[in-house]
Structure 1
């Protein structure tokens, strides 16, 4: 229980308690409760709220007299949104220059507490007892790490389900009586309204974090990385807190189309029961939950918007500073050129070379060679005589044939030589003609002109080769006596 000093402080400072002590509490709670809480309105323009309040004041003055509530509707709205009252939040939406109004959690708490003062025709206790026992069972069973006890509980639950299935198959169905139905409906309606009211409080906490982030950005004079580290830490602290985890789980539940369809079907079935007095607000509570959760999630998204806007502004300022420096360098260069025409400065390059670390290939160790030194069994029976047979081309014989051909001619082609002296050793002898280096004989090879050389092998098989045109030219300075 709170102490006397704490209660006195709450009475003087808490907006909900100040509202209960206010002279015009009946007007504030009645009008704002219907406008924002009962209809689940999350935002109204100030003009529309003043118009509605003006109609409310007109009706009250018709009933209570002209002296009742002497201020104008606009003055009342301004008073209720002031920091001294704190029952309304006056703000501007992005892209709009018209003030908007929303109720505060303190107003919703005062409205909810006043609603509990009304005498209820029916006070249910059974459903709440079952709910409490069920919550205790969830806590105990959900925190038990013993697999055997968990299996024991699951088997017991399966036995109860099998028993209920057997009774249903036999036609024995347990049906809630009208009293039990009204009891559970009353508990559902109360919990649904409390849950809807909690969204405003969660939204206030996220909005306070957004305000703190703006204040931090406005006064930050250190590096951008340190600021991002601090802001992201605060953002993660909210997301990882019990309140943030619970809200995210609830929001994920609402976003599930299957869950929404199931919840809507259950609400329709409940409100078709004759024993239930339908509450229109409870009938549409699933849509109100989704609207309130989306509004709260939009407040969370503003945190990311602030970070993005800060980064964009920082990059713009840095680019602007770079441009100013470049212009200063250009102006100084022009001034130095006019004042010191002999000033010379050498640059290594006209632009820097950028070498990104990930453009370099990673080190790949060379694959070790794998040598198989084993000899297969078939090696003993293989024919190896060809490995030791070596054909030797008689180079001197080829030179003698060329000199004989050049005795009466200035040049001779490879085709003429092959026609006169067919190769005895095939292609090897033909290649020897290209490797000739002898004094008095010049080789002229034309790679662009091709010639086809043909000859008969020892087995009477015609062979041919497509080779560059090769000419042997007699050196003019070679003495005739050198030719045999």
Structure 2
């Protein structure tokens, strides 16, 4: 590659890459500080309205030091248009959420590395490289004898360590090396959640690419359609899908997960001095759980994408879109041939009114349904008449408990008895209002009688539909007449 081609390629990258655009933005420090605090920590996705409110609150604190004339909503819209925020529909509610795009994550990582540069050649990093090279050399060696010899050397070294431990000749790792290895582990672990977001973003791109390939598919590309109709999840068969599937198997493996959590728990129980801060301990404690949540979410996204592809191909929308695309291409081809004879500014005599409404989201549109405004029945006029007292009384009785009737029944039954429970009353008096009468009697007993703490009774009453019903409640007792 020549210097000229490399310079042109990098110039195009500088002009098109959203991460570089964020690094050279006018308020880059403020934007990175806001985005990393609100969406780059433990919380990586928020409801859009909550995010805007939090941005407004931070802007109020920033304005004494910086000139920030716009509102949080305006800045959030600008960041989304620049490719630093990704807006998605929330699965559990009719709302939207926002999260950082892969470009924003890359820009934030650059700021973090510049602010807190890490050592480039630590002992733990060199050990990791050495162990990986050694394992790769063993696993790729086609010579069985050499591979056996290498494994025996590894086993001999492990046996020597076991003997040393049995003889008491071992020392725990010193504080300096412990701190260095913990820092390296945290550095590797902190990149994993961002990797999940990049995988999710890449799957979105793959979904759109597959949709476009379906529309462009011709007779020579019928395998795409045939695979979908056979139920093959094409997204999971991409390089990204296969890599994520292999990784999720490791995350969701019960035995390995238990061992990993046990190692983290034992590490956190030890006194490591200042090797880890409280926030780093909390991050490690919840690390595996967060990985499982992200893995489960992306599996759901993959399944939804695959189902969406199949539904799209099997629906009439696919055929209509194919026909529309062919019509558009035919019109463009005709226009290209006509351009040789007709100037672009030549009047066509066709008027095409254009809308002036700015559309921010397709969800803001509501389809006009003329049937909603059609009147299929004639309007019937009802002449007012005289209200009937008995009908009004029956209506009131259907909507309210008749406490006057219940009071009279209770007082009449108490004339020949010292006490009376609700169950005894219902045994020889039918509840005229069904369960409403039962509720009314229990209410009167609580107000003018007593309720047992341990004793229970069974209430039996006929419902308004004629079906007998029963309930076991605490004993409600009347001991005196109810004042009227």
TM-score by length of 1: 0.58
CA offset digits 1:436-463 (Å, max 9, x no partner): xxxxxxxxxxxxxxxxxxxxxxxxxxxx
Alignment of 1:297-376 (within 5 A): 297-310=299-312, 313=315
Show the counterpart of 1:64.
Answer: 65
Q: Which has the larger radius of gyration?
A: 1
SS of 1:90 mapped into structure 2: strand
User: Structure 2 stretches of 5 or more lacking a match?
Assistant: 320-484
Shift in alpha-carbon separation, 1:19–1:303, aligned structure 2, 3 A: same
Distance 2:164 2:139 in 1: 29
Query: Are the counterparts in 2 of residues 127 and 184 from structure 1 also a CA contact under 8 Å?
Result: yes
Partner Cα distance (2:193, 2:91) in 1? 25
Match of 1:10 in 2: 13
Question: Is the contact made by 1:217 and 1:310 (CA closer than 8 Å) also made in structure 2?
Answer: no
- State which drifts further: 226-235 or 302-311: 226-235
Distance 1:145 1:283 in 2: 41
Secondary structure (helix, strand or coil) at the match of 2:40 reads helix
How many angstroms does 1:128 deviate by? 0.5
Measure the CA separation in 2 of the matches of 1:316 and 1:244: 25
Q: Which residue of 2 aligns with 1:145?
A: 142
Deviations 1:380-434 (A, max 9, x none): xxxxxxxxxxxxxxxxxxxxxxxxxxxxxxxxxxxxxxxxxxxxxxxxxxxxxxx
Contiguous gaps of at least 5 residues in structure 1: 318-484
For residues 282 and 8 of structure 1, do their structure 2 counterparts lie closer, same or farther at Cα, with a shift above 3 Å needed? Answer: farther
Equivalents in 2 of 1:213, 1:123: separation in Å?
40
RMSD over equivalenced CA pairs, Å: 3.3
Number of corresponding residues: 312
Once residues 220 and 316 of structure 1 are traced to their aligned partners in structure 2, the CA distance between those partners, rounded to angstroms, is 12
Counterpart contact for 1:210–1:302, Cα < 8 Å: no
Contact residue 235 and residue 306 of structure 2 kept, 8 A: no
1:98 lines up with 2:114 in the alignment: no
Q: Which one of the candidate residues 127, 130, 145 is aligned to 1:130?
A: 127
Misfit runs of 4+, over 6 Å: 121-124, 219-225, 232-237
* Structure 1 counterpart of 2:199: 202
Q: 1:311 and 1:219, CA in 2 relative to 1: closer, same or farther beyond 3 A?
A: same
- Secondary structure (helix, strand or coil) at the match of 1:59 reads helix
Pick closer, same or farther for the CA change 1:119–1:202 going to 2, 3 Å.
closer
Query: C-alpha deviations, 1:128-179, integer Å up to 9, x for none?
Result: 1101111111221111121111111121112112111111111112421111
What corresponds to 2:109 in structure 1? 112
Q: TM-score, normalised by structure 2?
A: 0.58
1:79 aligns with 2:78: yes
The aligned counterpart of 2:42 is 39
Structure 1 contact 213–231 (Cα < 8 Å) conserved: no
Q: Please state if 1:20 is matched with 2:23.
A: yes
Indicate which of 242, 253, 264 corresponds to 1:245.
242
Contact 2:47 2:98 in 1 (8 A): yes
- Taking the aligned partners of 2:317 and 2:242, their CA distance within structure 1 comes to 33
CA distance in 1, matches of 2:43, 2:294: 8
CA contact (8 A) 2:182 2:276 kept: no
Task: Select the residue among 29, 33, 43 that pairs with 1:30.
Answer: 33
1:228/1:256 CA distance change after superposition, 3 Å: same
Q: Is residue 292 from structure 1 mapped to residue 294 from structure 2 by the alignment? A: yes
